[in-house]
Structure 1
Amino acid sequence: MLTLTSVWTTILLAAAVALGPLATDMYLPALPQIGSDFGTGTDQVQLTLSLYMVGFAIAQLICGPLADRFGRKPIMIGGFVLFAIASIGCALATNIETLILCRFLQALGGSAGPVLGRAAVRDIYTPREAAKILAILASIMALAPAIAPTIGGLMTASLGWSSVFLALGGYALVMAVVVAFGIPEPMRPEHRQSLKLCSLLRNYRTIARDISFLGYTLTNALIFSGLFAFLSGSSFVLIDFLGVPTEQFGLYFACMVAGYVVGNLTAVRLGSRLLPDQILVRGLLIAMAGGGLMAALAVSEVFNVWAVILPQALFMIGTGMVLPQTMAGAMANFPTMAGSASALFGFTQMAIAAVAGMLVGHLHDGTSLVMATIIAACAALAMGCYLLLVQRYPAEGFEPQSATSS
């Protein structure tokens, strides 16, 4: 079994957390085909994505406190097993209602990886170290969404969309074995929390009343919502509107992921000489530039693939800089209840993202305009949260230190 600070432990945690993006990105090229097979519209097909996020959000409020009581590993393993079972249900679905239900169940299990991966990083590292580790972890994780749409597109074109869900179920079972036998339990025994309802509510109230936590969480959630708006609308815009072949969808999607990796690596590089909040504001400015450019092009009726992909890649550079800093900042003040803090953080992130995704589905006009406008609005609102909350109430672990301030 690996040591907690091993590079391989970080890689395995990234692989476990990657189940979340895999469950959304791998089947994106199949969305138009699913709609055609079931005879449903864009809004109903998009619910398989948005309601997945709703289930993902709700489940985190449950698995976080369970992990604070019983440890990270058993909850994560149980979540992977549930995800695998629900994936088989998705593959066997014969109508859109069954698929939506199984996607919701899939989310209940899939939430364990991301929420407990964040908690494990907080268990092992200090807040400032955690920001760097989360950026490295995110870079590794980015390999999944970089290749997942390409693989999903090829599988959909040759084997049908059901094969994508069978592959996801197999991945979840492999990760259950890896976590069981490859990673030590990161939670310290003295940090175990009570499962009594009054204790849980008290913990959540304590976390929710922390202004620093709220600032980082809302900033993160809004930037993530811009990303999710793209995930919700990209297949319909690129495949249906702009005519990109299903099997080539992943190649364009990889450009967006490349931007995310660049942002992550930039955050790691700047981490040795800038404070996390200084990296955060730079990332927000870049994300606003990308979102604003895409919206401006759409309003000007410049409709082509690169008018969508290049601005989104710029947005993703900013996103790659913002997400690790806001994750670490939100978790910084809660070392003894990291699971609950990560759960509330994830719930807020996914709930707001689900709203953005539903708006894309319901307002979609057949072009890139709605998607682009929502991405730009999310970036602007994220900057507003930073200025009103984060800048005034930075996380204690992110305060200037003589050896690192600039």
Structure 2
Amino acid sequence: MLALTSIWTTILLAAAVALGPLATDMYLPALPAMGQALSAGPDQVQLTLSLYMAGFAVAQLFCGPLADRFGRKPVMIGGLLLFFLASIGCALASNVETLMLFRFLQALGGSAGPVLGRAAIRDIYTPREAARIMALLASIMALAPAVAPTVGGFLLTGFGWPSIFVALGVYGLVVAGIVAFGIREPMAPENRQSLKLRSLTRNYRYIGTDPSFIGYTLTNAFAFAGLFAFLSGSSYVLIDFLGVKPEHFGLYFACVVAGYIAGNLLAMQLGRRWLPDQILVRGLLVSVTGGTAMAGLAMAEVYNVWAVMIPQSLFMAGVGMTLPQTMAGALANFPRMAGSASALFGFVQMALAACVGSLVGYLYTGTSLVMASIIAICAVAAMGAYLLLVQRYPAPGFEPAKATQ
């Protein structure tokens, strides 16, 4: 068994958390081809992405409390096994309705990885340490979406789109095996919570009315929604509108992920000298700059690949600085119910992302304008949530007074 504080445990948790971006990013190059194969329009195919996010959001509300009662490991293993079976169902789907159903089931299982990975970090570390570790986890995890679209593009051209879902299922099965035999349960027995409906309702009401939690969660959710707007629209904008080949899509996508990794690494370095709040506000400023620049170029009808990729990479660098701080801040007040707090946090994040993704597909007009405008709006909304809530209600250990004691 690995020590809970070892780098290998962090890598394993990153592999579990990466299941979320893998299940969305790996099949992005295949969206246009899947539409042709299943006789479905862009809005229907994009709905498989939004339904995944919706299922992901709903499942977390149950996954977190279950993990607070029975522990992180058994719930994570069960979820990963469901993810494996649903992935095979996706690969065998013969119409878009069946694909939607199995994508929803895939999300129900896949939600266990991100929710419980975040909760395990909170189990193991203090809030300020968790901010640094989550930045490290995010950097490792970012390797998955950097590689996933390229792998998906080659699987698509070599074996067809169903092979992408087979690969995802195998990945989930392997991670389940490693979790089962590689780490011990990170949750302390004395922190187990009741599964009674009254207790669950009380816990969610307690978490959901905490102003610090609300501020960090909304800041995170709007930043993540901007990221998801790009995920939802990028394949159509880059492949259909700007003429990028599906097998090359991943290379352009890697530029965006490189921006995200750069933001994560910068946050890790700055975390040794700066408070999380100082890193957070600078990350938001970077995201607003990138998002508004892309929207401005689209409004000026500057339509080329780099008018999308350079501003989006800048936006993602800011997101890479922002997300670890908001994750740690949202969970800081809830050491005894980190699973439920992580679940509610993830529900808000994924529900907003699903709505934004559907909006991108519904409003898509064949250019980059809709996607770019929504990304800019999300960046500005994230900054607004920070200014209105986070500055007034910072997380314990994030404030200057406590940091210097």
Q: Structure 1-normalised TM-score? A: 0.99
Please name the residue that 2:350 is paired with: 350
Written as runs of structure 1 = structure 2, the 5 A alignment for 1:167-182 is 167-182=167-182
Within 5 Å, which residues of 2 pair with 1:65-214?
Answer: 65-214=65-214
In the alignment, which residue of structure 2 is the partner of 1:41? Answer: 41
Instruction: Check whether the contact 1:275–1:404 (CA below 8 A) recurs between aligned residues.
Output: no
Q: Is the 8 A contact 1:298 1:372 kept in 2?
A: yes
* Contact residue 273 and residue 404 of structure 1 kept, 8 A: no
Deviation of residue 403 (structure 1)? 6.2
1:335 counterpart SS class? coil
Q: Distance in 1 between matches of 2:20 and 2:46?
A: 17
CA distance in 2, matches of 1:70, 1:269: 36
* Residue type at the aligned position of 1:162: P
Structure 1 residue aligned with 2:332: 332
For 1:247, give the aligned amino acid. E
Distance 2:285 2:139 in 1: 20
Instruction: Tell me which amino acid in the other structure corresponds to 1:38.
Output: L
Work out whether 1:292 is the aligned partner of 2:292: yes
Quick one: which amino acid aligns to residue 261 of structure 2?
Answer: V
Matched to 2:53, the amino acid is: M
The aligned residue for residue 265 of structure 2 is: 265
> Residue 298 of structure 2 aligns to which amino acid in structure 1?
A
Structure 1 runs of 4+ aligned residues shifted over 6 Å read none
| 1: CA distance, partners of 2:294 / 2:163 | 34
| Structure 1: unaligned runs, 5 residues or longer | none
Determine helix, strand or coil for the equivalent of 2:336. Answer: helix
Q: Which amino acid aligns with 2:6?
A: S
Whether the aligned pair in 2 keeps the contact of 1:280 and 1:322 (CA below 8 Å) is: yes
By how many angstroms is 1:402 displaced?
7.0
Paired position in structure 2 for 1:225: 225
Report matched runs for 1:303-322 at 5 Å.
Answer: 303-322=303-322
| Matched letter for residue 393 of structure 1 | Y
**Structure 2 counterpart of 1:236:** 236
Which deviates the most, 391-400 or 258-267? 391-400
Q: Note the 1:9-20 alignment, pairs <5 A.
A: 9-20=9-20
Whether the 8 Å CA contact 1:27–1:164 is kept in 2: the answer is yes
Residue 184 of structure 1 and its aligned partner are, at CA, apart by 1.1
CA distance in 1: counterparts of 2:188 and 2:79, whole angstroms: 21
Q: Look up the SS of the partner of 1:397 in the other structure.
A: coil
Give the structure 2 partner of residue 254 of structure 1: 254
Distance 1:258 1:385 in 2: 26
Deviation at 1:311, TM superposition (A): 0.4
Q: Deviations over 1:270-298 (max 9, x none)?
A: 00111101100000000000000000000
Give the secondary-structure state (helix, strand or coil) at the position aligned to 2:337: helix
The answer as to 2:60 corresponding to 1:60 is yes
Q: Please state how far the C-alpha of 1:72 moved relative to its aligned partner.
A: 0.1
Q: In the TM superposition, what whole-angstrom CA distance separates every residue of 1:185-224 from its partner, at most 9, and x where no partner exists?
A: 0000000000000000000000001000000000000000
In the alignment, residue 101 of structure 2 is paired with which amino acid? L
Counterpart amino acid of 2:191? H
SS at 1:36 equivalent: helix
Read off the aligned partner of 1:167 and give its amino acid letter: A
Counting aligned pairs with the same residue, the percent is 75
* TM-score, structure 2 normalization: 0.99
The alignment yields a C-alpha RMSD, in angstroms, of 0.8
CA distance in 1, matches of 2:381, 2:295: 15
Instruction: Please report how far the alpha carbon of residue 399 of structure 1 lies from its aligned counterpart in structure 2 after TM superposition.
Output: 1.7
Q: Which moved more, 1:392-401 or 1:150-159?
A: 392-401
Q: Retained in 1: the 8 A contact 2:397–2:403? A: no
Aligned-pair distance for 1:397?
2.2
Contact 2:275/2:403 (<8 A) preserved: no
Q: Which runs of 5+ in 2 are unaligned?
A: none
Letter aligned with residue 175 of structure 2: M
Provide the rounded CA distance (Å) in 1 between the counterparts of 2:363 and 2:143.
31
Aligned mates of 1:75, 1:49 — CA distance in 2: 24
- Displacement of 1:401 in angstroms is 4.8
**1:141 CA displacement:** 0.2
Matched residues in 2 for 1:157 and 1:375: separation? 30
- 1:147-197 residue CA offsets vs partner (Å, 9 max, x unmatched): 000000010011000000000000000001000000110000000000000
Q: Secondary structure at the match of 1:255?
A: helix
What is the one-letter code of the residue matched to 1:43? D
Q: Distance in 1 between matches of 2:273 and 2:3?
A: 28
For residue 33 of structure 1, report the CA deviation from its aligned partner.
0.3
2:2 counterpart SS class: coil
Distance in 2 of aligned mates of 1:69 and 1:23: 27
Mapped to 2, the partners of 1:287 and 1:80 lie a distance apart of: 33
The one-letter amino acid of 2:232's match is S
Contact 1:274 1:404 (C-alpha < 8 Å) held by counterparts = no
